[in-house]
Structure 1
Amino acid sequence: MPLATREAIAQQAQSPHHETYCKIKAKENFERRDLRGYLFKAFEAGGYAPQWVQAGSSESNEHLEAKQECRDKAAKQIFDADDIDLNQALEIERSYSASWAERCQAIKARLKAQLPGIERSALWTWEFVRLVRFEDRTLLNKLEASWLFKNQEDAEYLQRRKWKQQLRTFLPDISDRWLKLRLLKNLGIEQFLNPDSSWTADSPEVRDFIKRCKKKAVANVLGYPDKKAPMRYINRLLASIGVKLVAQQIREGSERVWSYRYQPEATTKLTSKGAQRVCSLPENWDVLAELTAVGPVKKVEDLKQAELLEQQDFEVVTDEAINKQIQQSSVTEPAGENTTEVSAVEEAWGWVKRWGQWVRCHAVGWCQERTRRLIQYQGPTGEWLDIGRH
């Protein structure tokens, strides 16, 4: 970690903003033990008269129905919102005066950015918006964490790039997700993703894994294992990457115990509540995982390409262009007294460092001798300026 980043972290840790955050967080953690009781006390202190409502009563049922209707309405409004680009969505998210219609546009743009191409798939419905917005809010985070877990090299590359940049993030907002995922990898949690095996609380693999998780350095990151329910602890860790082991009661001797296994293929189980889907992965996981991978893969490729250009101090893109377009127009150059030569102009573009940052540049044609390309770069106000011949 760069020294400047360490100094920035130390400075933030001593700031009044960080101290206030810690006090609020401590109060939140304390009240979490009896959140309902503290909410009642807060309402009473504010002059309200809250009342308990029994589950299953007509009032609770009406509240549940109204809640579902509100969620349906909000999901449909988000789905039907006008399309905007991600930059416009970020501006709306930063605005405290944005209307609900504008926020629906921002939410829709954010979803499409997280799942590139989702709007062209059969999954893109208002029901899907309702799913990720209200029913399973952690689904998109699990998809991204699953990609980071399976692509450790690229994930570490992105993490290192982040820490090399100037620290502009509020200290409590820094996520420890990558640290947890790398630790899970080192602990060997992948052994529980074998569909040909099953485990109980007394399995040697489970005992060994729990023993390693009890170490202070590990427990401080992942949390301490539950002594009475080790498989519940393992399932909680797997849930961070979107996986849940399927439980089934089996007989061992004269006792019945719970057996857990990884089941990637979905099956249907008939219960008293009707047909139930049984699977270790959420529905449509493979399709969503493929869409989720588009963004980070492109980001890694772009960053590595920029680093390569920086190391080479900008080498003009020629035949092996990042993006190459053959223009329909042609250029005619004199090749003799009465002859002409017609050739297509290939427009190649790349990046060049100006004013301490990377700016776009492109080739606009050939010099008169046809030995070098004429290069232009985009200025601060969007105008194209000449670099010269390369």
Structure 2
Amino acid sequence: MSSQSTETTVRKRRVFYIPGYDPIPPRRYRELYRKESAAQARVSGYEIALSPKNGDGPYGWHVFSRQDGFETETDIEVLVWSDIVQQSMAQSIPGTYLQLLRTAWIYLSTGTLGRLMRLRKGPVIAALYPVGMLLGQLALAVGIAWASAAPLWGWIGWLALLPAFGLAYGLLYAFRRFDNRFFAYYLMHDYAHSSALKGAVPAELAARLEGFAQMIRDALDGDTDEVLVVGHSSGAHLGVLVLASLLRQRQTQRPVFFLSLGQVVPMVSFLPNADQLRRDLQFLSTREDLTWVDVSAPGDGCAFALCDPVAVSGVAGPGKRWPLVLSAAFTQTLSPERWRQLRHRFFRLHFQYLCAFDQPGDYDYFRITAGPLTLAQRFSGRKPSKSRIETPVSKYSSVGP
């Protein structure tokens, strides 16, 4: 890390947080930040407090923090696309099973699934989980319905299929009703949305991302010391698209800072029509006016941990500078007791990047988003993780015109 000085201290910061595929309104992120920042402050010995956001714009909150003798004020705003997520999840039960078939066909027929398995098996297993769970639910519902209708077969013949069908559908409806325990429908909608156009960006989402780019562009014209974009999970590749659009359209002397967390970029960049995403990955990787730090952890089975998203997508060129790939090292930054509690809670671990660590290392979300150093200063001179994966794996590496 670089040393602090009054000349380089961040006193005012804007943070734009891009969530992953999440249908829940952004208030949950404020509550998560409030709870976890207080916990981290107790562990690390600094002060942090939240208050309501002033002014218009996206949902957000204000943070005051005193760290290492410096006071910093940060405005954090959530760039909301949960309404688009909600629309994509508005599928009937038969519609979801059609999504399953279509999504599975896309990843299998293009050879993408096999390529992804060469990187990390964890996120591929996570991708296959909703397929297996939904097919298992269907088999169980049909089996129970058939067994219940069998005694009626000798009495009413083919008419026995009517109550059997009703019972099967009722069981499937019950499974969907309790999907907050299984997450099968949620994950199926997630992967279906990402792959619907084989990696191309849907028009509605593209328009929303352009709006995000304009908000960040306006912030760069303000008087803050740092403008930081944070993309979590699938929000990471959305951040790539947003920042590439921003930097192509705006020539600025001000640096832009990008923190990607728990990224799943290969799930999209490995698809045949993802030319725009691959082009933007390549573009950002060479920018001198950008600092891009990518943080993941092998303990996160839902992320392509330590996979350099530019390199594995096959678009790294000779001038590549970014991202700096670092490990959050859950097994080291969480105490043994805490690790035992969380190691099998896969979805909770996927959000650990936004939470407190009881044995924090270089990565501390609340020092990055509320402390006195810019992202570049905090990781100045930091070497990338030795266990990062940089081998080009994607079958498709075209970047289009």
TM-score relative to the length of structure 1 = 0.22
Specify which structure has the bigger relative contact order, considering alpha-carbon pairs within 8 angstroms and separated by 6 or more residues.
2
Higher strand share: 1
In the superposition, the TM-score normalised over structure 2's length comes to 0.21
